[in-house]
Amino acid sequence: MKHVSTALAALLTGTSALAQNAIKPLSYPQTRKVDTVNTYFGTKVADPYRWLEDDQSADTKSWVQEQNKVTQQYLSQIPYRDAIRKRLETLWNYEKYSAPFKEGKYTYFYKNTGLQSQSVLYRQAGTGAPEVFLDPNQFAKDGTTSLAGINFTKDGSLAAYQISEGGSDWRKVIVLQTADKKQVGDTLRDVKFSGLAWQGNDGFYYSSYDKPQAGSQLAGKTQYHKLYYHKLGTPQSTDKLIFGGEKTPRRYVGASLTEDERFLIITAANTTTGNELYLQDLSKSGSAIVQVVDNEKSSVDVVDNVGSKLYIATNLNAPNNRLVTVDAAKPQPANWKDLIPETKNVLTVSTGGGKIFANYLKDATTLIEQYDMNGKKERAIQLPSVGTAWGFGTKKEEKETYYTFTSYIYPPTIFRYDIATGKSEVYKKTNVQFDPSQYESKQVFYTSKDGTKVPMIITHKKGLALNGKNPTLLYAYGGFNASLTPSFGTSTIVLLENGGVYAVANLRGGGEYGEKWHLAGTKLQKQNVFDDFIAASEYLIKSKYTSKDYLAISGGSNGGLLVGAVMAQRPELFKVAFPAVGVMDMLRYNQFTAGAGWAYDYGTAQDSKPMFEYLYKYSPYHALKPASYPATLVTTADHDDRVVPAHSFKFASRLQEMQKGSAPALIRIETKAGHGAGRSTAQVISEQTDKWAFLFQNMGLTPYQTPAN
């Protein structure tokens, strides 16, 4: 890989490269302003770009076209953009597999030959040759329709799969006979945020909302989720409402069946944190739906059963989670008994082969222990190194299971695990062009503004000079109890092999240390998340990994909000910013799609005067004032119906208005794409190309001076 040493040499020529890569001055489109004003608790708040919320209007579509034109004109002038694209295509061009799973007489797995738009679902019987079962690349010519989930009957004879068109969260459901792949019944439409839970071979449970009226399908508010039962061979219009609706209005409703199909498990909630739990014994004709937990103050889920004995994972009275058992005849919390008690490490649970797998998070990395169904610990499972492992779930009768292990410098590897002996063996290795021995990844703990210790993992080439001149990308999320654990990123190789640093911080608001860590970054504590991110930046600068002239920040969705907020609060600290599909208008986020469900984390401007004032102060769209902001590439997509693109449209418009420095303030709007899932490989590579080109250009650095091979 001769280009690596050439690129490293190029990085040493920093400022001269900037002069060579001069780009014509930007001329942004003139974005119309309107006199829209809202009053919150006596405070008038102007919203001059409100008209961009109408995603269906001709004016908005014209604005999108003009902004994309300016952005592409800028990016097209970066001389090494094509070299980056070619390098990414080379890096991506290797076979990718999922862990296999068994359904009926077949073993199924996903495979991508390298640059296919979507991964293909294969199957094989025993040791026979694999055959294509479903090829999503045939769904649409441009590869933007994706397979968004598949569920099989217990005997494997039927499969119901969901498709997403253009990245939308709205799905279609199609049922096939697996023997001949012939469709059964009609296609179900307008299904959203749903699993599919088969009951025998007769039908399945699914969830959806009433679809907003035409003209507002992207941004329209989805208020109440409903659980239905669809009987095969009958019209969707006759599907039976099981839960939700006017009698039990809930914003999120989900259903699953225990593996023996005896119990229907229903979870219901109005926010993204915590849930009620309901249970129905399907072995008894006419049995009622019984409430197990009657509030949303904790998370609770049935993970397995042995006869009438239920296994429930919960953080009720255990912020780091525990596993309890209870008899289904009296399933309420008063009767729960600890099977695996809470520890200092956060617990998630899966089952398979008649065993329990306890997956612990220790400082945002994985530890796995195996227990029998009576709660006796059998072993700690040996993993290849410090990183992330997932899988460890299979059917009760299976003798083996599969798991995937990865880290920032360990490409995803699939292992076969013998449940009886505890031995692991490599099943599939990743053949990406990457030599882990050339890199190091280490965890540090830095101190945030209020004294809290926060973990961060820093990855770079061995022998890195701590001279403050290394291009660095700092990534974080910090919300919704989500944990960032080590994972390999093919795109990140571009940064690392060009002498760069990749840092991931585990901020408060996430789930790395349980519910207390999560709550410390919510509502009136949200500033803690921003302070943690700023402190991570300052640590990287103080430790000479980088400096403000070589530091970029990145985050998506809630992480896009994070980037938008901190660049408004500390614009001088960063050279480049990548806010992706971000929640940027904190006063109106709850007015769109399922946004009202995020109120547990954020609070709303309608809650109280203090809550409004808090949101108004950090809301990225509102917090921008005239200043010199870092070079910013906002990214969103025209079919994002989770965090609607209007957030990014309005933020980018105000950023262009308020930018007093010379750095670019651009927005890149992907077409036929949504919040992120299901994008084609070509779309992913195209966006990653533009981000790396933008980063290096604005740091005055030149990667790949010779053509990438």
Which of 415, 411, 441 is closest to 426 using CA atoms?
415
3-state secondary structure of 37: strand
3-state SS class at 187? coil
Q: Give me the DSSP letters along 576-639.
A: EEEEES----TTTGGGSTTGGGGHHHH--TTT-HHHHHHHHHH-HHHH--SB-PPEEEEEEETT
Q: Determine how β-strand 309-314 pairs with β-strand 322-327.
A: antiparallel
Contact between 255 and 195 (Cβ < 8 Å): yes
Distant-in-sequence contacts of 369-373, Cβ < 8 A, 24+ apart: 370/419, 370/422, 371/340, 373/306, 373/311
DSSP string for 101-157: EEETTEEEEEEE-SS-SSPEEEEESTTSPPEEEE-GGGT-TTS-EEEEEEEE-TTSS
Give the list of residues 6+ apart from residue 463 with CB closer than 8 angstroms, or none: none
- Beta pairing class for 388-391 and 377-381: unpaired
What's the Rg (C-alpha) of the chain?
A: 25
Nearest residue to 114 (alpha-carbon basis) of 87, 93, 88, 135: 93
Tokens representing 327 are 């008899």
The answer to whether the CB of 74 falls within 8 A of the CB of 666 is yes
CA distance 262 to 709: 57
Distant-in-sequence, close-in-space partners of 435: CB < 8 Å, separation ≥ 6: none
State the Cα–Cα distance between residues 614 and 335, nearest whole angstrom.
41
DSSP codes of every residue in 161-179: EEEEETT-SEEEEEEEETT
H-helix segments, 248-294: none
557 catalytic per annotation: yes
> Which residue type does 581 have?
V
- Concerning whether 225 is annotated as a catalytic residue, the answer is no
Q: Which residue is it, tokens 């990245």?
A: 167
Q: Which one is catalytic: 146, 208, 557, 619?
A: 557
Indicate the burial class of 363 (C-beta count within 10 angstroms; 0-12, 13-18, 19 or more): middle
E strand map for 245-395: 252-257, 263-269, 276-281, 290-293, 300-306, 309-314, 322-327, 337-340, 346-352, 355-362, 365-372, 377-381, 388-391
- Best CA proximity match to 426, nearest among 435, 436, 416: 416
Query: 400-407 and 377-381 as β-strands: parallel, antiparallel, unpaired?
Result: unpaired
Q: How far apart are the first and last CA of the chain?
A: 7
Q: Which two tokens stand for residue 102?
A: 């068994």
Apex 274 CA angle, 271 and 278, nearest 5: 105
Q: Which residue has the tokens 């210790």?
A: 453
Are the CB atoms for 703 and 494 separated by under 8 Å? yes
DSSP H or E stretch at residue 74: helix 58-76
Residue 357 pairs with which residues in a beta bridge? Answer: 350, 370
Give the active site residue among 225, 460, 639, 675.
Answer: 675
By annotation, the residues acting in catalysis are: 557, 675
